[in-house]
Amino acid sequence: MSNRNRKTPLGAVVRGVENIIHNPDPRSPGFSEKGLYLLSRCYAKAVRAREQQYARGVRRQQRLPCRVISVGNIAAGGSGKTPMTLHLARGLLARGLRPVVISRGYKARMERSGGIVSDGRRILAAPDQAGDEPFMIASELPEVPVLVGADRFRAGELAVRRFSPDVVILDDGFQHRRVHRDVDLLLIDGSTGFGNGHLLPRGPLREPVSALWRADAVILTRMENADPSAVAAVCQKAAGIPVFRSVHRPWVYGVARQGGKNPLELESPAFARDLGFLADARVFGFSGIAGNREFQRMVTAISGQIAGFIAYPDHYRYNEADLEHIAKQAASAGADWIVTTQKDYPRIRAWGRLPASVAVIGIRPDLGAEHQLFCSFLGRRLGRPL
């Protein structure tokens, strides 16, 4: 996997830290691992102090006058929180409820001030204002209001005043303790579990594994690539908590034809309703998300031949030079299609003339045989059948 954006000394450091974080064996650490371990101990103390403040009532949860579902994770990186948020919002909407989604708007202009990304009729904020995930949610579910803000409770109050929701869904809300929630869903990647068991920055964990006690249910995601030992470890730690399993189903969000217009506009032709059109194609992929490795694995699985792949940092802001580099790499590799993610799409819309057709791939969670069981659980927690 090439990575154009990490050829600097700083980039080498970042890549080294990532390798340490994802190292499944926490034993026999080298010098750099020891340094990160000490930092992770400091981080653990801060997490523990915050937890004690809530336990002692120094910090208190505040209630919104509607039901609240939190979708979150315990490990840094992509576990499928936003696809699950979309799945929940879509399901609640289909059952006649009025959902509103609230996200932090990470690294977006509106993160601190907060605001409305979509009012349920039209999108009111650009991707750089709203953030990748909120804009993606607003684009896929235009009938659902979407708000952002680091202060999720204040955003919730605004949502209640403006939209009178039946249910507020907090995207990435597990660590945001201030808002009381009726359902706390904890997503854990079934292919990695708790990783090496260390907290950031020595490992991937945002909180100790003991934080599972706060979850009302655990959802193991990416079970199509599950690691049996990782799954067993999660199930052991989650004893007494409902555990559901889901797989990630790729789907075509849209395609853009070679030589298309600027800004990059997508269409959804009949042939792209499934991924079969990529099966015999030579494909070049790229992404700037937390789960680059997983996306590369998916592209490899769905394509006839993967001609290359470039990984960028999560939330990476592509410039003209980046897009030109991707185009040249894809052209030199003889690619028929360039494939990227639904989350990346808003950041590449400035792309000019395309050297190949582009397919934008989204993810939808599938709970399979456990779907109705999950709906029954959710209905009990919300106080109404689903």
* The pairing of beta strand 243-245 with beta strand 337-341: unpaired
pTM of the prediction?
Answer: 0.91
CATH of region 67-97+166-246+367-382, choose from 3.40.50.300, 3.40.1390.10, 3.40.640.10, 3.40.50.261: 3.40.50.300
The residue ranges of every structural domain in the chain are 67-97+166-246+367-382, 248-365
Q: Which residues of 70-94 are buried (b: 16+ CB within 10 A; e: fewer)?
A: bbbbbbbbbbbbbbbbbbbbbbbee
Residue 198: helix, strand or coil by DSSP?
Answer: coil
pLDDT exceeds cutoff 50 at 57: yes
Residue type, 209: V
pLDDT exceeds cutoff 50 at 11: no
**Res 345: pLDDT:** 94
The Cα 98–Cα 230 span in angstroms is 37
pLDDT exceeds cutoff 60 at 351: yes
**Res 305: pLDDT:** 86
pLDDT band at 5 (very low <50, low <70, confident <90, very high): very low
Could you identify the residue written with the tokens 């981080």? 43
DSSP codes of every residue in 51-70 = HHHHHTTSS--B--SSEEEE
Find the range with the poorest average confidence among 36-40, 83-87, 193-197, 236-240: 36-40
Per-residue tokens: 108: 């977006």
* The pairing of beta strand 247-256 with beta strand 357-366: antiparallel
pLDDT in tens, 131-144: 999 999 999 999 99
* Biggest CA-to-CA distance, the chain: 62
Contact of 274 with 302, CB cutoff 8 Å: no
Q: Which of 292, 265, 268, 284 is nearest to 351 (CA)?
A: 265
